Amino acid sequence: MQYTLQGIVKFILDKIKSTNNGVMFFLQGDLGVGKTYLVREVAKYLKIKDKITSPTFLILKDYQIPGDSRLLVHVDFYRFLDSFDQSVLDQIGFFDYAGNDVVFIEWPEIVQSHLPEDLVKQAVKIKITKDEWGNRIYQVE
């Protein structure tokens, strides 16, 4: 199903609000397509005041969701496009967040073979592309 920015943000917020447990979103798309932009828009609606920036060099950033015990966790595995080592997940404490918090993963194709099958199956897969006019198209798979 295809969504506009407003539609995908509403879809994501509904998913987040439908559970008190963790929820994971796989954000797929080319470099510069707007994956971090989408996380920033969701954070705005969750009333997170911190500036949301790409975690490419830090790998993982977390933000407290006001009025919620969960964190918004933003992970970017782009740095590992050429090679990925399972130990990275332990080093960043990934499994402390998975299943408990709201996790957005950029470049999930790099890491998903290293994740438990149940996490991958439960993750909401969102593909972001642009049309010929440069408008973003959000597709939930």
> How far is it, in rounded angstroms, from Cα 61 to Cα 34?
17
Pure H helices in the chain: 5-17, 35-45, 87-91, 94-97, 117-122
pLDDT score at 83? 86
pLDDT tens readout for residues 64-88 = 999 999 999 999 999 898 888 889 9
> How far is it, in rounded angstroms, from Cα 13 to Cα 87?
31
pLDDT tens readout for residues 72-131 = 999 999 989 888 888 999 999 999 999 899 999 999 999 999 999 999 999 999 999 999
DSSP, residue by residue, 49-70: -SPP---TTTSEEEEEPTTSS-
pLDDT score at 37? 97
> How far is it, in rounded angstroms, from Cα 137 to Cα 111?
24
pLDDT score at 66? 97
Q: The pTM is what?
A: 0.95
pLDDT tens readout for residues 22-60 = 999 999 999 999 999 999 999 999 999 999 999 988 899
Residue 16 has pLDDT above 90, yes or no: yes
pLDDT score at 82? 83
> How far is it, in rounded angstroms, from Cα 29 to Cα 18?
26
pLDDT averaged over every residue in the chain: 95
Domains identified in the chain and CATH numbers: 2-140 (3.40.50.300)
